[in-house]
Chains A and B, each alone.
Chain A
């Protein structure tokens, strides 16, 4: 649910990074945080445990620039990936405008990917959304690892609807901005449709 403020001429949108535990959602946000100009980004918040596992969410506000005189701000959130934090995941999806599904390419994590994607569908449905209606991008992360599954296998299991998809290595930043851009574009295109 985007927020358009005519007074400050701002538009705010919410993008949520979803995916199984340790797939690299927080690493995506950290890379974006490190590589953006100080003027563009706000403070990054990580509500994490002592072992740096996401407990509630990470949050990074970004101001991308202006469209038709409106400042365009994106609020990026990650969910905690571990299975038992489902209550938190549901809360963070509230008011979402776009979703990135970060998949862990390692062959051993295939089941966790599928489980997380199913969980995303269920939790979106509870909020009245459907995955094929929300701007949605799939990121195949950790492509650099030797035990990465073949791309076709990941596509078949995780992206049957052929949403925009990107291969990435979030630790080096490869594919991170491409994913963000595609999602932001999807969100803005959706706004355009709603306004048409």
Chain B
């Protein structure tokens, strides 16, 4: 089934941000990212400012997609939790709902156990927020889309530079 467009209003974004900022503190992590399965970065929080989060988002989605393919091969529907251990920094990825990925970057100041515990709660909260976003999008049917009004000239102007 084709996925619908993801539209996030300011209040949705604020809710996501509140959850992930709290997760950064509670899990003692360096950074938290929310990425959709198509590779778009939805939100980020933490001390990892300046990191190439666009690439992080795209590669996260690729990694999760590849792992999900592997899961199906061995007869699992999905591997909902991924953990990558590095020398200093570690990555923890969890699936949230059916289209989002929660990524936590942490080092020796935290631990896998703590991250797992905190991610469980934050993931459930994020799933609720995104479920609301989806419902809202369905009920509003893009009534307030800024793109309904764009003209061919607007599109052409993008390419004039």
Contacts and interface: CB of A to CB of B under 8 A. Distances in A.
User: Is B truly associated with A?
Assistant: yes
Interface string A180-191: 010011001101
A192 interface: yes
Given A65-B161, A68-B150, A191-B147, A7 B10 contact: yes
Main secondary structure of the interface of A (DSSP, over half): mixed
A166 interface: no
B146 A69 contact: yes
Contacts of A59: 39, 55, 58-59
Contacts of B8: 3-7
Contact of B9 (A6, A90, A194): A6
B19 to A, nearest CB: 14
Interface residues of A, number: 49
Interface stretch (B74-82, B88-96, B151-159): B151-159
Interface of A: 1-8, 11-12, 14, 42-43, 45, 47, 56-57, 59, 61, 64-65, 67-70, 72, 75, 77, 87-88, 90-92, 94-96, 127-129, 181, 184-185, 188-189, 191-192, 194-196
Top 8 nearest A-B pairs (CB, nearest first) are A95-B38, A195-B145, A128-B2, A195-B148, A7-B13, A91-B65, A195-B147, A191-B147
